[in-house]
Chains A and B, each alone.
Chain A
Amino acid sequence: DTGVSQDPRHKITKRGQNVTFRCDPISEHNRLYWYRQTLGQGPEFLTYFQNEAQLEKSRLLSDRFSAERPKGSFSTLEIQRTEQGDSAMYLCASSLGQGSTEAFFGQGTRLTVV
């Protein structure tokens, strides 16, 4: 296993379009997290899954955002009707779960909304 994988690495989209990102976590990790990072800032928590269950969503996650992890393995993050303010790096991380503080991050998907 080579770590957390995210696809695509870069996405440029026009305002109003929908986009979907994929994250493949480390195979034995049952927790999966999504974060958003803007330039010069630390990552901001969006949501996380324990296996297939979505346990928490941040206030940052407006109704245009939805995340799924249907089989408890890979996850998708969809943004509908993108806005310029959605331009950011979207990071996925995974961890073994309760009691494990070490989260492994992917390289992120950089979204640019034009």
Chain B
Amino acid sequence: GESVGLHLPTLSVQEGDNSIINCAYSNSASDYFIWYKQESGKGPQFIIDIRSNMDKRQGQRVTVLLNKTVKHLSLQIAATQPGDSAVYFCAETGGGNKLTFGTGTQLKVEL
């Protein structure tokens, strides 16, 4: 079936550095791609989305890039802070806006 997967299970960065989290997807028919952040013991929290007809979208300290040619999605976090430590999931929307999630990348911010 269609799937969304992540390249790296764990990413460690120094506080203040930029973080890049990558994701590969296989469903070319997805309308939107979305990044969620999940802290321990909490539900996922929406970060940013990008429509499939766009290739870049910026938010506050975050940028999402979409490369449809190679079916690749990335999340860039500028000036990573300790509060950014969490598991990050990429997801794509199917019919009804239900989400198909990947397995997640653990981001660890080192002081």
Name the contact of B45 in the complex, choosing from A40, A43, A105 (C-beta under 8 A).
A105
B53 within 8 A of A: no
B96 within 8 A of A: yes
- Would you list which residues of chain B between 27 and 68 have a CB under 8 Å from chain A? 32, 34, 41-46, 49
Closest chain B residue, CB of each to CB of A97 = B97
Q: Which residues of B lie under 8 Å from residue A65 when comparing CB positions?
A: none
Residues of A within 8 A of B (CB): 4, 31, 33, 35, 40-45, 48, 50, 55-56, 91, 93, 95, 97-98, 100-108
Closest chain B residue, CB of each to CB of A102 = B46
Name the contact of B43 in the complex, choosing from A91, A97, A100, A102 (C-beta under 8 A).
A91
Size bracket of the B interface:
20 to 34
| Contacts A/B (CB < 8 Å), 24 sampled | A33-B98, A33-B99, A40-B103, A41-B103, A41-B104, A42-B4, A42-B89, A42-B91, A42-B101, A42-B103, A43-B99, A43-B101, A48-B96, A50-B96, A56-B96, A93-B43, A98-B97, A101-B46, A101-B93, A102-B46, A103-B46, A105-B43, A107-B42, A108-B42
The docked-state distance in angstroms from the alpha carbon of A38 to that of B4 is 16
Residues of B within 8 A of A (CB): 4, 32, 34, 41-46, 49, 89, 91, 93, 95-104
Closest chain A residue, CB of each to CB of B5 = A42
Q: Which residues of B lie under 8 Å from residue A103 when comparing CB positions?
A: 46, 97, 99
Q: Assuming A33-B98, A33-B99, A48-B98, what are 13 further A-B pairs, CB within 8 angstroms?
A: A4-B43, A40-B104, A41-B103, A42-B89, A56-B96, A56-B98, A91-B44, A98-B97, A100-B97, A103-B97, A105-B43, A107-B41, A108-B42
Kindly provide the distance from the CB of A9 to the nearest chain B CB, expressed in whole angstroms: 9
Most chain B CB within 10 A, of A31, A43, A50, A101, is at: A101
Kindly provide the distance from the CB of A6 to the nearest chain B CB, expressed in whole angstroms: 8
Could you tell me if A101 and B34 are in contact, using CB atoms closer than 8 angstroms?
yes
